[in-house]
Amino acid sequence: MAAHPVHPPGFAHQFEDMEQQREAGSLGMWVFLVTEIMFFGGMFASYTVYRALHLPAFETGSRLLNVRLGALNTAVLIASSLTMALAIHAAQVGKRKSTIIFYLLLTMLLGATFLGVKFTFEWHQDWMEGLIPGLNWAYSGPYALQVQMFFCFYFFMTGLHALHMVVGIGILTVLVVMSARGRFNDQYYAPLEITGLYWHFVDIVWIYLFPLLYLIGGRYALGGH
């Protein structure tokens, strides 16, 4: 047995080595993400039930959303996942802290872009068109009541997703400060790795929200929005 090693920075002494510490950290984060799967899963399950019950209304509601902005935001979010992965990669290969900070800031910028498009173009447009249930609902086309139900799902699901993005940007801000203080190196980067898992999870939620809300109503009848 080797002599008691000098602890590398960030090493918690209850672990055998850094690899075990990393695996324990990721596992713990995944346990949290499983609770998030069930959290969002409740909404996805209710969405599925009401969609099955009121299919024509949900297709009508889906066509009232702006599919171009939805697709654009999907690409923005995917790009932010790439920059998040590159921030972790930069730490893993021992790049300078300015490189890590660069990728973290880029991730935050892309996340903020997503939220900006969502708030200023999509939700604001919905407000102008009177598509907010309970606040200024003005839609009087076919299936008015059930379309209102679709928009309840739309705002709760995208709203909860946006809330997760806001939290993610907050955590990234902390990571930027930690990076600036030189807390990460090629052996210790657990906060980056774990935040990455969270950020990619939120990306996956959107990967499902985009087709469920914007696409599967079908766009062919109207030829676009």
**180: part of which helix (H) or strand (E)?**
helix 144-180
With CB under 8 A as the contact rule, the residue among 89, 112, 152, 156 that binds other proteins is 89
As given in the structure block, the two tokens for residue 180 are 């600036």
> Which stretch in 118-126, 130-138, 170-178, 209-217 sits in contact with other proteins by CB under 8 A?
209-217
Six token digits for residue 196: 């990455």
Q: How far is the CB of 133 from other proteins (least distance, A)?
A: 22
Rule CB under 8 A: choose which of 10, 11, 15, 44 binds other proteins: 44
Q: Which of 57, 60, 61, 81 binds other proteins (CB under 8 A)?
A: 81
CA-to-CA distance for 225 and 131, rounded, in angstroms? 16
Tell me the closest approach of the beta carbon of residue 173 to other proteins, in angstroms.
21
Closest CA to 214 of 113, 83, 73, 87: 73
CA dihedral for 177, 181, 186, 190, sign (positive or negative): negative
Contacts of 218 (CB under 8 A, 6+ apart): 59, 62, 63
Contacting positions for other proteins (CB under 8 A):
18-19, 22-23, 26-27, 30-31, 33-34, 37-38, 41-42, 44-45, 48-49, 52-53, 67, 71, 74-75, 78-79, 81-82, 84-86, 89, 92-93, 187, 193, 196-197, 200-201, 203-204, 207-208, 210-212, 214-216, 218-221, 223-224
